[in-house]
Structure 1
Amino acid sequence: MEDTTKTKESRAHEHDVENMVSETSSLAKDDILQLEHTDPILNAKMHLVNNAIDEIGFSRYHWKLFVLNGFGYAVDSLILLIQSIIAKQAALEFSPSYPNGLTIAAYVGMLVGALFWGMTADIMGRKIAFNVSLIICGVFAIVAGAAPNWEVLGLFVCLSAFGGGGNLVLDTAVFLEYLPSYRQWMLTLMAAWWGIGQLIAGFFAWGFLPNFSCQDPSVYPDATPCTRSNNQGWRYVWFSSGSLVLVMSLLRITVIRLKETPKFLVGEGRDAECVETLLFIASKYNRPCSLTLEKMAACGTTDTRASQGKSKWGLGGVWTHIRGLYSTRRIGISTTLIWLSWTLIGLAYPLYNVFLPAYLSSRGAAFGEPSPYITWRNYTLVNFSGIWGPVLAGWMCGTRLGRKYTMVVGALVTMSFFFAYTQVRTATQNVAFTCIINFCLNIYYGTLYAYTPEVLPSAHRGTGNGIAIGWNRIMGILSAVIATVADTGTAVPIYICAALYIFMAGIAAVFPFEPYGRRSS
């Protein structure tokens, strides 16, 4: 039976190789950063590793990574949305002095998590950070459901976000560093899991909040006081979500049994382990792999921190990774533009969610007071629409548009519908435009998520990715503060957001690297 399975996989691999040849025969087969001569020996070894990964091809191991790494993607959106969904009911019970506190707590946790786990992944490797961060997220999400007051709830939300936000940095990096070049478009497709995470959050909320929540006294004057006993719904949402995350984090350990990524090992000068890992995958899935330690040794000896006598745990070690993101002029420009893009989308997306409902209300849009069923039905429709943006983006990235112009199209189309949305006046129009915008926005967002690790040097990928997402989180914190103190009824924020999308499209067009037809380094 096992031999039959292997035979089928071998045939599938041969078909993949044929597709790869036909798809890339007219394209340059260079590595993306091959011409950036920071370390010719490392470039040569990375080229051999890319050849070996392409030779092995796409296997069941990669499908496991796609699903379980993708779930890490989903967790980020799951945690962010759950805290916003349950905030109102938790506030009725705790009467907090700062209602937006949970949003800030979540973004602070994700900011620290992105920086900590991103840098840690470059120092001690992807494997430990990849596994531990999601376990932390699951444990504290469960504990958040038992919070006795608003401050403790905020603490546990922050700690859960610390794990989930850090894991997001690693999901794309780990998947990319095992992925054959002719399937790199799947990195964009993986962003569809973001919408799945939102959908899961909506289903949990739909199941528990309408049936196990106290009533809002401002809407129902005769409502009984809100206590823990009559307001268990938001706690059930946390318990269920945390349990799901914990189970999936354990599946990552037992199903994938992740080995350290080959590209990290090469960057650390651990050539023997790199070859051993690739040969293990090739043997397990009956694939060819001609890479040998002798071929790696023939390239020379890589200049690593160990050979330089520097401690990788000190500030100098961290600074080495930051400096590596500016090792050449083009890499430096690329890094700066990527970080700027993350900063802008981190401000534009929350501002859109914060200001648009109040703006529409001030202009006479009448949506009525929908029932809980209608509320969560609409929520499900919107989140379901978001899943398919990255699916279209994945296809677009595999065409001549490439990554850069897929982002340009996504940003400009989003901006167009964003302007059109200001004319919404009915509940049906509101749902329709929200679904369309969520779909279009995820074309840009999903591609940016994939593009970022693709063009970063492997040795500094975790740090660069972590700082990029960190800037995004800082803007999320800022948007929560703005929502508290600003006038949400004016048109100014709407036009600012639209201008930001135009600016993001312009930045994407001048990115110095285009991964289409090339291989990540």
Structure 2
Amino acid sequence: MGMGKYQWFIFYLCGFGYFLDLCWAQAGGLVGSAIIQELGIGTDHAGDLSTAFNTGLTLGAFTWGLLVDIVGRRWCFNITCLIASVFGFLVATPSSYGAICFYYLLVGFGVGGNIPIDATITIEFLPKNHRWLLAALSTFQPLGTVFASIIAFCVIPSHSCGADLPSCNTGETPCCTKDSNIGWRYTMIILGGITFLIFLLRFVAFRFRESPKYLLSKGHDAKALDVLYSVAHFNQRPQPTLSIDDFRALEFEDDSIGSYNSDVPINGGQHEARPPAVREVLIGGFSQVFGHLRGLFKDKRNAYLFTVLGVAYIADFWSFSVVGYFLPLILRDKGVDAEQSTADTYRSYVWIYLPGVTATLVAARFMEIPRVGRKWSMVVSAGLMGVSLALYQLVDSIPANIAFNAMEYWFQSLYNALLYAYTPETFAAPFRGSACGMLSTLGRIASIIAPIASTHVYNGSHSPGVLWLGAGGAWISMFAIALLPGDTRGKQAF
């Protein structure tokens, strides 16, 4: 059917899922200082908001990654955005730090499923000659980061307490009141509204049909054909020539190759009639729900791919999590950020993340270059990401901070766009979402552990060890990618 209106709708709606992933991640860092000041949170709990969100992302990636192969793409596609929007609104309501962290964890739970779900859906509707759009999906991630930064820049500085005001929880006056510090709540409400609008676009404005490849993997041949006919009608294209008789002919061929009858009569030709034991019911139910994972771990090729990509995801997320956590601390100890106002800080975020949009477009182009393709583009971009992290030791001013941060984020965006595109291509439809979700889960876990594990290396303004840990993670990810088999250009696991 080619690339029609339906496929473009899928691309943009899935792109909005990528948009939300980094939009909400960026928002936590933007509002964190305002929340800490208003509620009087100590430095020992200042990172709890980020930890809660990352925990939600981890749980979401694992849960939704499995569910997309169990209950289907359609409901997961819609529910994740609904969950994120509802709890996004709720984040703005309480004045308890524990409640705020809990609601933000649930936002992360909803958002965490977007990348494995949206990548899976996109590849299953794209024609082969448009698979470069898988990398272009990641363009929405830096756009999400920039959007959150712009909202914060417009709202928070003009609706925040003075930097010298203490929390009203200390009993001192004057203090930072809720009404004078409403900017971070406005930010959460605006992002919650944007997320709800995306949910409405997915669920109401556009009728998403279940993926035909998912339906085929579950044996629903007629429903899969119905989706093909519906998409062709939506695109105003001729009806497909594929019919249910074609599937029946294939099944007849499979049956005629050879099979055995497991329904063997016993007791003199009489079948034993007995109720199934509880153990059999439990095992049978578990196998029915999670049986699709057998193809992922029993096949040597898939097991090898999952292992190598698992190392790549863990090292990649480790890398940018270590540096993302410690760079602001290193710069603060150098006295660099003391020169910036709140508005200047948010403006800097825009300059840092906006160039990342071009990186994902470059990734989409590199995917289709012969003898370069996905694999070697990932190797080069991961290596340069590590180099840019190591060079960050040269930063000693605000312009240098913005320039080097933008460079690192550019290579990070290039690498991740290619990695997120390669992953769904290499696994078959019955366990594609589960593989993507579990790999994303491994990365999310690494992003939680990395800052904690690296704490003892941090040594104030002189902390090259932290930067080398971040660069080393990028280079380990690079070597793992180099161990992958041939490129997926022009191929796809079914």
TM-score, normalised via structure 2 length:
0.88
Contact 1:74 1:196 in 2 (8 A): yes
The 1:467/1:317 distance shift into structure 2, 3 A limit, reads farther
Aligned to 2:5: 60
Secondary structure of the residue aligned to 1:191 is helix
Aligned to 2:27: 82
Whether the 8 Å contact between 1:202 and 1:380 is mirrored in structure 2 is yes
The alignment status of 1:381 with 2:328, answered yes or no, reads: no
Where 1:291 maps in the other structure, the secondary structure is: coil
1:475 is displaced (CA, Å) by 1.5
1:422 is paired with a residue of what secondary structure?
helix
Equivalent position amino acid for 1:67 in 2: Y
Contact 2:323 2:470 in 1 (8 A): yes
For structure 2, the residue ranges without an aligned partner over 5 or more in a row are 256-261, 264-279
Q: Does 1:492 align with 2:443?
A: no
Distance verdict in 2 for CA 1:204–1:484, change over 3 Å: farther
C-alpha separation in 1, matches of 2:292 and 2:58: 18
Among candidates 215, 219, 231, match of residue 181 of structure 2: 231
| CA RMSD of superposed structures (Å) | 2.4
After TM superposition, the structure 1 stretch with the greater mean CA deviation from structure 2, 396-405 or 511-520, is: 511-520
Show the 5 A alignment for 1:349-388: 349-360=320-331, 364=334, 366=336, 368-388=338-358
Residues 373, 487 of structure 2: 8 Å contact kept: yes
**1:473 positional shift:** 1.3
Per-residue CA deviations over 1:354-394 (Å, capped at 9, x if unaligned) read: 223434565x5745421233222211111111222111000
Question: Is residue 403 of structure 2 the alignment partner of residue 432 of structure 1?
Answer: yes
Aligned residues: 461
Structure 2 residue 165 is the aligned partner of structure 1 residue 212:
no
Do 2:38 and 2:166's aligned partners in 1 also have CA atoms closer than 8 Å? no
Deviation per CA, 1:146-201: give whole Å up to 9, x if none.
Answer: 12210000010011111111222211111111110111110011001110110111
Tell me if the contact between 1:173 and 1:461 (Cα under 8 Å) persists in the aligned partners.
Answer: yes
Contact 1:455 1:513 in 2 (8 A): no
**Secondary structure of the corresponding residue to residue 470 of structure 1:** helix
1:95 and 2:40 equivalent? yes
Structure 1 residues 488 and 356, CA gap change in structure 2 (3 angstroms) = farther
Q: Which moved more, 1:313-322 or 1:448-457?
A: 313-322
What is the rounded CA distance, in whole Å, between the counterparts of 2:290 and 2:340 in structure 1? Answer: 53
Shift of 1:513: 4.5
Q: 313, 317, 322: which is aligned to 1:342?
A: 313
Helix, strand or coil for the counterpart of 1:146?
Answer: coil
Task: Output the CA distance in 2 between the equivalents of 1:204 and 1:460.
Answer: 38
Q: Distance in 1 between matches of 2:212 and 2:173?
A: 60
Contact 2:165-2:175 at 8 Å conserved across structures: no
Specify the code of the residue in structure 2 equivalent to 1:373.
A
Distance in structure 1 (CA, Å) of the matches to 2:355 and 2:452 = 29
Checking the alignment, whether the CA contact within 8 Å between 1:216 and 1:223 is kept in structure 2 is: no
Separation (CA, whole Å) in 2 of partners of 1:81 and 1:312? 43
1:518 maps onto 2:491 in alignment:
yes
Q: Which amino acid aligns with 2:235?
A: Y
Query: What's the CA shift for 1:283?
Result: 2.3
Displacement of 1:299 after TM fit? 1.5
- Contact kept, 8 Å, 1:195 with 1:384, in 2: the verdict is yes
1:290 to 225, 241, 246: 241
Q: 1:140 to 1:448 in 2, by over 3 A?
A: same
Contact 1:389/1:442 (8 A) holds in 2: yes
Tell me the distance in 2 between the aligned counterparts of 1:343 and 1:256: 36
Aligned ranges for residues 473-512 of structure 1 at < 5 Å?
Answer: 473-482=444-453, 487-489=458-460, 490-512=463-485
Is the contact between residue 355 and residue 483 of structure 1 (CA under 8 Å) also seen in structure 2?
no
Q: What are the equivalent positions in structure 2 for 1:275-354 lying under 5 Å apart?
A: 275-288=225-238, 289-300=240-251, 314-354=285-325
SS at structure 1 position matched to 2:297 = coil
Separation (CA, whole Å) in 1 of partners of 2:341 and 2:116: 38
Aligned AA for 2:311?
L
2:457–2:466 Cα contact (<8 Å) kept: no
Give the equivalent residue in structure 1 for 2:424.
453
**In 2, Cα distance between equivalents of 1:88 and 1:483:** 23
In 2: Cα distance, 1:497 partner to 1:193 partner: 25
Hey, what's the Cα distance between the residues in 2 that align with 1:176 and 1:153? 36
Larger radius of gyration: 2
Residue 355 of structure 2 corresponds to residue 410 of structure 1: no
Within 5 Å, give how 1:7-26 maps onto structure 2. none
Q: Deviations over 1:323-353 (max 9, x none)?
A: 3212321111001111221111111111111
Give the drift of 1:128: 0.7
Alpha carbons of 1:114 and 1:518: their partners in 2 closer, same or farther (altered >3 Å)? same
- Indicate how the Cα distance of structure 1 residues 484 and 505 shifts in structure 2: closer, same or farther if over 3 A, else same: closer
Q: Which residue of 2 aligns with 1:19?
A: none
What displacement does 1:408 show? 0.7
Q: Distance in 1 between matches of 2:403 and 2:25?
A: 23
* Contact 1:421/1:433 (<8 A) preserved: yes
SS at match of 2:180: coil
- Equivalents in 2 of 1:331, 1:75: separation in Å? 30
Q: Deviations over 1:420-443 (max 9, x none)?
A: 221122221211111121111111
Query: Is 1:246 matched with 2:196?
Result: yes
Once residues 500 and 273 of structure 1 are traced to their aligned partners in structure 2, the CA distance between those partners, rounded to angstroms, is 45
1:95 Cα offset (Å): 2.0
Give unpaired runs (5+ residues) of structure 1: 1-55
Q: Is 2:426–2:492's contact at 8 Å kept on the other side of the alignment?
A: no
- The separation in 1 between residues aligned to 2:421 and 2:57, in whole angstroms, is 19
TM-score (norm. length: structure 1): 0.84
In terms of mean alpha carbon deviation, does 478-487 or 372-381 score higher?
478-487
Distance 2:138 2:355 in 1: 13
Higher alpha-carbon deviation: 294-303 or 103-112:
294-303
SS at the partner of 1:230? Answer: helix
Tell me the equivalent position of 1:21.
none
Distance apart, 1:480 and its partner CA: 4.5
Task: Give 1:196's match in structure 2, choosing from 143, 147, 150.
Answer: 143
- Distance in 2 of aligned mates of 1:318 and 1:299: 26
Pairwise CA distance, 1:139: 0.7
